[in-house]
Amino acid sequence: MFSQVRRWWIAGAVMSAVMVGTLAQAAEEKKAAKAQPEGKPRVQLAILLDTSNSMDGLINQAKSQLWQVVNEFATTKLAGQTPELQVALYEYGNDSLPAAEGYVRQVVPMTDDLDKVSESLFALTTNGGEEYCGKVIQVATQQLDWTSGKRDLRCIFIAGNEPFTQGNVDYGTACKAAAAKGITVSTIHCGDRNEGITGKWEHGAQLADGSYLCINQDHATVAINTPQDKRLAELSGKLNQTYMAYGSDEKRKQFSSRQAAQDANAAKMAASVAASRAGFKASGFYKNAGWDLVDAVTEGKVKLEELKADQLPEAMQKMTADQRKAHLAKLVATRAEIKAQIKDLSGQRDKYVAKERARMAAEAPEEAAAAAEPFADAIRQAVKSHPGSSQP
């Protein structure tokens, strides 16, 4: 009997020691986790565009105002910090899309590769269709890789013109499901405000803590040209020369040409669009570590010495290891210098545009209306009204 009690006592003591040790370890881990600096907050922006026949104007606005939209986040603060930015793109309401999938297509998943988003925007076409808002909101909510950080801003912007009630997925259920994941849904009705309210676009936004906005999708913005536009375009081209694609030969050609193609797409829209894109390329949001050797090495995504010669940019393949390091260092310095020049000119340009808009508002209301950017302005307004964001 004594030996049995002794065994129970020893077992109990061992269990107590294990529990104390476990609790102590958990406390230390919690303390260590708390001591670690939190990463940057993140903005995740999903843009859902109606690509039915009547939406050509909306698509053109999205193409021409993408860089204005993303530049807005360069001055936005979350929890006192400049956030990281990811964008996703969906299209809905196009007859070319599978009916079995609700005429919905994920064009680009959540990504920080904004050149890819631009490329995909310029590839969109319109074609008839049934516009199921509830369905596309449900798909975006469930399909995208949303963060769960308390400091992050997760938002869906859906633009279209047909009633929000269409389709077999209840818009209310979809919006509430998004809100449950901390995702706001802002609705951009292309048409009359009262018509949008009747069609439940306002109610959809209310259910998911978003903003209800209305735009004229056929508005053709008259660009405000500035003295800085030409030089910004030149510097944007020079900046491209500091990017060195790595990886397979096919990959190097693909990404190098895509960067230049998006510059050309912006320039075709207007000099002001190209200038806005240049400003974005000089910001911390323009990330290309997936293909650019300078970003990849700087961010620690790859080690220069571990890449094979045929994975390097052609200009670096015959260099020695020391020459490669020196060449990369030179590119880093040159890029920083060009970005500084772009930022300075972009700041001057922003002041010029703001002054010109103020003048037009006071002296020429019709010119001010013509220079409006409905799609970008709608998103700006929604972002500014979000309780977690702040701007200088």
Q: What is the DSSP letter of 53?
A: G
The beta-carbon contacts of 7-14 under 8 Å, at least 24 apart in sequence, are none
What is residue 21's predicted lDDT score, i.e. its pLDDT? 44
pLDDT at site 392:
56
Q: What local confidence, expressed as pLDDT, does residue 388 receive?
A: 62
Q: How far lies 238's CA from each of 157, 232, 298, 337, in Å?
A: 34, 10, 20, 11
Q: Say how far apart CA 336 and CA 303 lie, in whole Å.
A: 21
With contact defined as beta carbons under 8 Å apart, do 50 and 58 qualify? yes
Domain boundaries, the chain: 42-220+373-390, 229-370
Q: For residue 78, what pLDDT is reported?
A: 81
Residue-wise pLDDT for 220-239, tens only, equals 888 999 999 999 999 999 99
- What is the fold of 42-220+373-390? Rossmann fold (3.40.50)
Quick one: pLDDT at residue 38?
63
pLDDT averaged per 10 residues, the chain (length 392): 42 41 42 49 95 92 93 80 92 94 96 95 91 97 95 94 95 97 96 95 96 92 94 97 94 90 96 96 93 95 94 94 96 98 96 95 92 89 71 57
Contact 173/345 with Cβ under 8 angstroms? no
Residue-wise pLDDT tens digits, 102-149: 999 999 999 999 999 999 999 999 998 789 999 999 999 999 999 998
pLDDT value of residue 220: 86
E strand or H helix at 33: helix 2-35
Q: Are β-strands 84-92 and 42-50 bridged in parallel, bridged antiparallel, or unpaired?
A: parallel
| pLDDT number for residue 172 | 97
Residue labelled with tokens 């190209």? 274
Report d(CA 124, CA 137) in Å as an integer.
19
